[in-house]
Chain A
Amino acid sequence: KNEVEQSPQNLTAQEGEFITINCSYSVGISALHWLQQHPGGGIVSLFMLSSGKKKHGRLIATINIQEKHSSLHITASHPRDSAVYICAVRPLRGATNKLIFGTGTLLAVQP
């Protein structure tokens, strides 16, 4: 079983819909990242969370440390939001800054 699980793996939405992507993890963490990867490969860091909730524009990220779960919400989705969204955690244990990644959620927003 992967240490970081995302759902759904694939998501197709109509423009304007509210989107939720979920991330569950099994290790203790010091932080959780939400990343966006467009075709071609470049990765943009959207959020880094260690508790609570963060908002940036139409994007909202929440985390529940006790339940080891995080969600990424996109309000009023737009075709330019189409990308792969990746959840990554920084383990608490060990002298390392490495990230452990989920397998990603491929989002397609149709006009």
Chain B
Amino acid sequence: EAGVTQSPTHLIKTRGQQATLRCSPISGHTSVYWYQQALGLGLQFLLWYDEGEERNRGNFPPRFSGRQFPNYSSELNVNALELEDSALYLCASSLSDRYQPQHFGDGTRLSIL
């Protein structure tokens, strides 16, 4: 069974640009979660999508947005990139039931120059 896959592995952007990160969940999983791991700050919850809808978002500005497609894959978009957006962005997926474990991808490392 394929795990959660994220692309690209690395992404280099400059301030003010826009970044798009992609995530494919495990087959059969309908929930996708996005987390940010900035250097020295630990993992922070960003967004949760389930069945195509945004269910919850963390304490991040509106320039962090995303969507979930009918095949349950997801995109995270970050507009007007700032230096502090440099981080590892992790995607996780799970079955819809809130008591199911989350399975993580290997992440996309976003570097802002």
Contacts and interface: CB of A to CB of B under 8 A. Distances in A.
A86 B101 contact: no
A86 B43 contact: yes
A48 interface: yes
B86 interface: no
Contacts of B101: 31, 33, 45, 48
5 contacts: A40-B106, A98-B33, A98-B56, A101-B43, A104-B42
Contacts of A97: 31, 33, 48, 50, 55-56, 94, 98, 102
Given A33-B102, A95-B56, 18 more contacts: A35-B104, A40-B106, A41-B88, A42-B107, A43-B92, A45-B101, A45-B103, A48-B101, A50-B99, A86-B42, A86-B43, A94-B56, A97-B31, A97-B94, A98-B33, A101-B35, A101-B43, A101-B44
Interface of B: 31, 33, 35, 37, 42-45, 48, 50, 55-56, 58, 88, 90, 92, 94, 98-99, 101-107, 109
Contacts of B35: 99, 101
Contacts of A103: 42
Give the interface size class of chain A. 20 to 34
Nearest to A6: B42
Interface of A: 30-31, 33, 35, 40-45, 48, 50, 86, 88, 90, 94-104
B3 to A, nearest CB: 9
A96 B90 contact: no
Contact of A42 (B31, B45, B98, B106): B106
A48 B102 CA distance: 9
The 4 nearest A-B residue pairs measured at CB: A42-B106, A43-B104, A101-B43, A98-B45
